Amino acid sequence: MDSDGCRPKARSWTDSRRSSRPTLGVAHGVSAANGTVALHLAFAALGIGPGDEVIVPTLTYVASVNAITYTGAKPVSWTLIPLAGTSTPA
């Protein structure tokens, strides 16, 4: 952090990504503003899009469903019943 404790030492997001690559052991990195954007990028990288269905737990945060919808895929709600060891479509 800078001396004021409010800003990262890296001058830009690009510097931050470059400096974190060796630590993470990866050649490339992408920054995302939030979890919804990160999920959307991941789904797009996987080629998920129109005509695809993505299973999501019935009890989930709206960001996962939004990210699926942004790609044009259809979220499919699924209920998990841990004590019974079963699952069913919601």
Q: Where are the beta strands (DSSP E) in the chain?
A: 53-57, 74-81, 86-89
Q: Above 60 in pLDDT, residue 88?
A: yes
Digit-coded pLDDT (tens) for 22-74: 777 888 777 788 889 999 999 999 999 999 999 998 888 888 899 999 999 99
Instruction: Provide the pLDDT confidence category of residue 13 given band limits of 50, 70 and 90.
Output: low
Of 84, 30, 29, 79, residue with least CA distance to 56:
79
Query: Would the pTM of this model clear 0.75, i.e. be above it?
Result: no
